[in-house]
Structure 1
Amino acid sequence: MVAGVEAWEAAHEREYGEGSWPRVRRLAWALTKRHIGYDPGDLERIEEDGGVIVDDPAGREERRTKWMPASVLLALALWRAARTDQILVDEVALDRPLWWLGGARHQDLYTEPLPEWPTGVPGGWDRVQRREAQLLEPARWIAAWHLLQDETENHELLDTPDGTPPPPLLLGDRCRALASGPYRDGHRPRWAGTVEYAVNGLAWAASEMRAGLWSPGPAARHAAGVLHPSLIAAPDTPELPGELHGETAWIQRAVRLTHLESVIDAVRAHHGQAGELDSHPRLPFGSALTATAVALGEIAPTVRELETLWARRETGVALWERAHLPVAVREHVVALEQLLRILRDLCFDMNMDPDEPH
Structure 2
Amino acid sequence: MKIPRYNHRSQFTDLTATTEKIRHTLATGDYILGDTVAHFERRFADYLGATHAIGVNTGTDALTFALTALGIGAGDEVVTVANTFHATALAITTVGARVVLVDCEPDTYLMDLDALDAACGPRTKAILVVHLFGRSLDMGRVTAIAARHQIPLVEDCAQAVGATWNNQRVGTFGAAAAFSFHPSKNLAAAGDAGALVTNSPVIAHTVRTLRGLGQDGQDNHVTLGANSKLDAIQAIVLDAKLDQLDTWNADRRTIAARYTHALTHPDITTPPPSEDPGDHVYHLYQVAVPHRDAVLAQLRSDGIDAVVRYPVPIHHQPAFARHGFDGKYPHAENQATRTLCLPIRPDLSPAEVDFVCDRLTTAITDSEEALA
Relative contact order (alpha carbons < 8 A, sep ≥ 6): 1 or 2 greater? Answer: 2
TM-score by length of 2: 0.28
Greater helix percent: which structure?
Answer: 1
Greater strand percent: which structure?
Answer: 2
TM-score by length of 1: 0.29
